[in-house]
Structures are given as C-alpha cells and as structure tokens.
C-alpha cells in the first residue's frame, strides 16, 4: 500500500513537471520576431482627457444602475484611446481594437527582453455577440489558436481567491448580453447588489496584499513625527526640507538595527499622507486615519517658494511607491497634459521637473540598503532644497495645448526629449545624487 502511494505521488509530480514544460514550450514556440501591432500614436491631451471621461462614465453607470441594470456603450474609438494611454504608460505594450458587425477583435503585442526565441509575444482575442453573457470565442498566441471560453471564468475565479469573495465572478455574471451595432459594443449589465461597496472592499483587500508586515505602524510613527514638527512650526511659510530633515534623522536612527529601505519607504508614505491631508491613503488604505485623527500642516509648505511644486513632488513620490517608476513618470506627464487643456494651468516643464524629482527621490531612497542609508546621511549633512530638488530657472510653463503642439509637437518629439533630458541632468546635479555619481566614477 505504501509503495503504491509513493508511485502515485511520483507519477503526479512527473505529470506536473510535464505540464509545466509543455506550457513553457508552447510559450517559447509562440514567440515571434515581428510585432502584430505597430507602435501606437503618441498620447496627447485629448487622448488622456477622453480616456478619463470614458472611465468616469462607465463607473457612474455601474454604480447608479437600478434593478433593471444598464446598457454600457463602448465605441472602438474609446477602446483605442485606452490602448494609446496603455502604450504610453507601458512602453513594451501595443494594442489595437476593431469592432465590426460580427465580432470585437483585440490584438496585443508585448515586447520581451532580448532572447534567442523571439522578441515579441503576439496575442489576439475575439468576442462575438451573445445573449448568454460575455466570453472569448477565439484566443491566439503567436501562430497558435484555440477556444478562449475558459479564460474569463478562470480569471474571475483567480480574482475571487485573491479577494476572498465572489465579487469578480458576480461582476462577470452580471454581463447578461453583448451586442454590436456599427462600431459600438453594447453590454447589458446588472451589477450585483452593493457593487460600489464591494468594489471598495476589493481595493482594500488588494492594498493589504501589497503591504509588508508592520508597515502601518511604521507609517503612523513617521506621521506623528511630521505632526509634531508642524505643531512646533513658528508661523511662517516653510520649505519641505524643514520637514524632510527631521524625518530622515528619525529614519536613520530606526535603520541602525533594521532596513533603511523599509524605514525610508514608510517615511515617504507618511510625508505624502500628511501633506495631502489623507488623500493618498487611497493608494494603500487607511494606514493613519484608521488609528488617529488626521491633522493639517498649520502653515504653507513649499519647494522653490511654491506650494504647487511641493504638491507635485510628494504626489509623484507617492505614485512611485505604488507602482513601477516608468508608470509614475507617465502619470506625471499625463497630469501636465491635462493641465494644458481649457481651465488648466497649462503644460509646465517646471511642474514636470518636480514630478520627476519626486520619482527619482523615491527610486534612490528605496533602491537598496546602501543607497537608502546614503540618502539619509546626505540629507542630514546637507539640509536644504538643493540637496534633493533641481534648479528650475528657465524652464517653460503655462503652455496651452495649441502652444505645446506648436513648440514641441508631441511627447515623442526630439525637442521634448531634450527638455526632459535637461531636467534629468539638473536633478542628477542635486547633492545626494552627486555623491552617488562620484562613487561610481571612483569605481571605474
């Protein structure tokens, strides 16, 4: 009996290994040398504004749907705008949508790191009209093609496991039909009861998954340091550096027997929550407000004498902590594009410099233990904005959409790229990064 059990276990392990090898082999076989989708058009103000309006409309329709449900109208143009935004944010991804009378077709090309099997993974999916919910009729990966009806239910079940409830499956089941009229896809949707509350709970659950143990306690500790510093201020406008210095002193003291990266990350989160009056808790949950009352900075806090630049700096830093650095840079650029529309402050390379400085600050503060400790020491040895914030003299700001197009054409243009390079060079000259450059130069 024992021998039979051993053989069963051995066979199960062998079958599992064969399955993994088969999947890996199919993946490698599907890689190709050329992309299925060409590079998307550059994202501009109109693209981003329309994408935000579309998502806002869908969210409102789902949350306000009554007992009879609602019909979501999605056009091919709206999907293509979302694809443009996605391609700008994720440089390795290009996507294309096509809505015709018989199907919704999606093509995606993913650019992979250099390898001997192929540079691109090309994917395709096709959804046909149905009165029995929504499903993927055909799914392709490279030259391979097969039925895709299993994909959405499996994805929903995996999401259910992660979220510890059945909300993903219920939302999928809430799509009762899909029809196509010209270039419009019409989805009949009946959201589950309390859809808004369940979506908020799902976000909180996902937030909890990405928080390391003890993060909330650390963030609250640094928030208390900031609150104490604010309460003791002397009634004048202050530079962000006057808050950052004591914060990094505390981080350095707590890093003696621990991780400087962990302490820096918690300190920057506390900084972002404090100066946004709790607004950035939406990125990671109520780390502070769940345990104590939030307080406001009693006096204006600035960078380069401006409150707006301080806001750009810490908001981009918060985004950088919640995502990959490339996404954060794109988020900063998207905000500048939105500001260039009617009613906005206009496109500003000064604001973009503050955005990128915040991202670089977080990148260096959390790159590794050596960099994290170096940042702490350099900020304490060089208190003041010049240690971490660039010179903004001569940078253009207040450009309308028309002026931006006339002078820089698009964010992919050579002239725009040179401006961004100039900003990055100025950031690199900040004292905390100069020391890093000197260290690297000495190693060469």
DSSP run (H or E) holding 70: strand 70-75
pLDDT in tens, 274-302: 988 888 776 667 788 888 889 888 888 89
Q: Pick the residue with more confidence: 203 or 156?
A: 156
List, in sequence order, every beta strand (DSSP E) within 76-213: 93-99, 104-111, 120-127, 136-141, 144-148, 175-181, 184-189
Does residue 8 fall inside a structural domain? no
Do you know the residue count of the chain? 444
Radius of gyration (C-alpha) of the chain in whole angstroms? 25
Would 352 be classed as within a structural domain?
yes
200 occurs within a structural domain:
no
Residue 11: predicted pLDDT: 55
User: Are 114 and 223 contained in the same domain?
Assistant: no
With respect to residue 7, please indicate whether it lies within any of the assigned structural domains. no
Name the most confidently modeled range: 129-143, 148-162, 206-220, 352-366.
352-366
pLDDT digits over 370-395, tens only?
999 999 999 999 888 989 999 999 99
B/e letters for 93-117, b = 16+ CB within 10 Å, e = fewer, are bbbbbebeeebbbbbbbbeeeeeee
Which among 288, 285, 292 is positioned nearest to 267, based on CA atoms? 288
Asked if residue 219 and residue 160 are part of one domain, the reply reads: no
Q: What is the DSSP string of 301-363?
A: EEBTTBHHHHHHHHHHHHHHHHS-HHHHHHHHHHHHHHHTSTTS--B-HHHHHHHHHHHHHHH
Instruction: Indicate the residue among 161, 194, 227 that finishes a domain.
Output: 194
* Inter-CA distances, 361 with 294, 353, 414, Å: 25, 12, 26
Do residues 148 and 223 both lie within one domain? no
Q: How far is CA 28 from the centre of its chain?
A: 28
Range of the domain at 161: 29-194
Q: Name the 3-class secondary structure at 5.
A: helix
What are the pLDDT digits (tens) for 87-117?
A: 776 778 888 999 887 889 999 888 888 888 7
* Domain match, 84 and 123 both: yes
Q: Do 380 and 232 sit in the same domain of this protein?
A: yes
Q: Determine, yes or no, domain membership for 1.
A: no
The reply to whether the predicted model has a pTM over 0.75 is: no
* Distance in angstroms (rounded) separating the CA atoms of residues 178 and 133: 7
CB atoms within 10 A of CB 174: 19
**pLDDT value, residue 196:** 60
Structure tokens at 199: 């979506």
- Residue 23 in any domain: the answer is no
Above 70 in pLDDT, residue 327?
no
* Chosen domain end from 194, 221, 251: 194
Same domain for 249 and 138, yes or no, is no
Neighbours of 430 (CB within 10 A): 22
Q: Are residues 164 and 258 in the same domain?
A: no
Judge whether residue 2 has pLDDT over 50: no
pLDDT of residue 425: 94
Residues 252 and 351 reside in one and the same domain: yes
Residue 180 and residue 286 in one domain: no
Structure tokens at 346: 């206009």
Q: Is the dihedral of CA 52, 54, 59, 60 positive or negative?
A: positive
Q: Is the separation of the CB atoms in 206 and 162 below 8 Å?
A: yes
User: Tokens representing 220?
Assistant: 């609250």
- Could you list the beta-strand ranges (E) of 164-274: 175-181, 184-189, 238-239
pLDDT in tens, 23-54: 555 556 678 888 888 887 776 666 766 777 78
The tokens 């056009």 sit on which residue?
75
Token pair of 278 as six digits: 């709790």
| 269 in the same domain as 120 | no
Q: What are phi and psi of 148, to 5 degrees?
A: -115, 15
Take residue 26 and report the two structure tokens written for it. Answer: 């199919």
Q: How many CB atoms lie within 10 A of CB 46?
A: 12
| 1 or 309: which leads in pLDDT | 309
The pLDDT score that the predictor gives to residue 259 is 93
> Which pLDDT belongs to residue 277?
85
Structural domain contains residue 13: no
Confidence (pLDDT) at 334:
57
Residues 75 and 221 in one domain: no
- Structure confidence by residue, pLDDT tens digits, 427-441: 999 988 875 555 555
For 332-366, write each residue's pLDDT tens digit. Answer: 555 565 555 555 567 889 999 999 999 999 999 99
172 domain residue, yes or no? yes
d(CA 203, CA 165): 12
Which of 129, 161, 194 finishes a domain? 194
- pLDDT tens-digit profile of 254-269? 999 889 999 999 999 9
Could you tell me if 180 and 55 lie in one domain?
Answer: yes
Rounded CA gap, 192 and 201, in Å? 14
User: In this predicted model, what pLDDT tens digit does every residue of 402-411 receive, in sequence order?
Assistant: 888 888 877 7
For the chain, what is the domain count?
2
326 or 368: which carries more pLDDT confidence? 368
């Amino acid at each position: 009996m024992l021998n039979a059990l051993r053989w069963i276990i051995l066979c199960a392990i062998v079958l599992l290994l064969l399955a993994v090898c088969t999947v890996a082999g199919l993946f490698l076989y599907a890689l190709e040398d050329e992309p299925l989708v060409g590079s998307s058009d550059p994202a501009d103000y109109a693209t981003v504004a329309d994408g935000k309006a579309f998502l806002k409309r869908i969210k409102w329709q789902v949350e306000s749907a009554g007992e009879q449900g609602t019909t979501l109208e999605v056009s091919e143009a709206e999907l293509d705008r979302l694809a443009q935004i996605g391609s700008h944010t994720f440089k390795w991804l290009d996507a294309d949508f096509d809505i015709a009378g018989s199907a919704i077709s999606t093509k995606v090309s993913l650019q992979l790191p250099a390898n001997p099997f192929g540079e691109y993974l090309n994917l395709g999916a096709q959804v046909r009209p149905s009165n029995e919910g929504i499903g993927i009729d055909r799914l392709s990966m490279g030259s391979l093609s097969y039925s895709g009806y299993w994909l959405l239910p499996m994805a929903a079940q995996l999401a259910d496991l992660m979220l510890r409830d059945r909300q993903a499956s219920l939302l999928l089941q809430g799509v009762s039909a899909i029809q196509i009229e010209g270039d419009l896809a019409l989805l009949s949707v009946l959201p589950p009861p309390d859809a808004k509350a369940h979506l908020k709970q799902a976000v909180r659950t996902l937030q909890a998954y990405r928080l390391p143990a003890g993060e909330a306690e650390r963030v609250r500790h640094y928030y208390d340091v900031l609150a104490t510093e604010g309460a003791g201020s002397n009634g004048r406008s202050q530079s962000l550096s006057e808050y950052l210095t004591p914060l990094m002193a505390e981080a350095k003291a707590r890093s003696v027997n621990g991780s400087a990266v962990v302490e820096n990350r918690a300190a920057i989160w506390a900084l972002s929550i404090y100066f946004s009056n709790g607004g950035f808790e939406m990125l990671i949950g109520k780390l502070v407000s769940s345990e104590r009352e939030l307080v406001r900075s009693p006096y204006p806090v600035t960078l380069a004498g401006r409150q707006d630049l301080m806001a750009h700096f810490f908001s981009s830093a918060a985004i950088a902590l919640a995502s990959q650095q490339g996404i954060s840079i794109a988020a900063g650029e998207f905000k500048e594009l939105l500001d260039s529309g009617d009613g906005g402050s206009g496109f500003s390379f000064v604001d973009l410099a503050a955005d990128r400085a915040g991202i670089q600050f977080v990148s260096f503060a959390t790159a590794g233990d050596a960099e994290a400790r170096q940042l702490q020491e350099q900020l304490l040895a060089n208190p003041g904005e010049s240690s971490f914030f660039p010179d903004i003299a001569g940078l253009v700001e207040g450009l309308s959409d028309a002026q931006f197009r006339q002078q820089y054409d698009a964010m992919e243009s050579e002239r725009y790229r040179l401006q961004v390079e100039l900003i990055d060079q100025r950031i690199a000259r900040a004292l905390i990064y100069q020391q890093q450059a000197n260290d690297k130069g000495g190693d060469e």
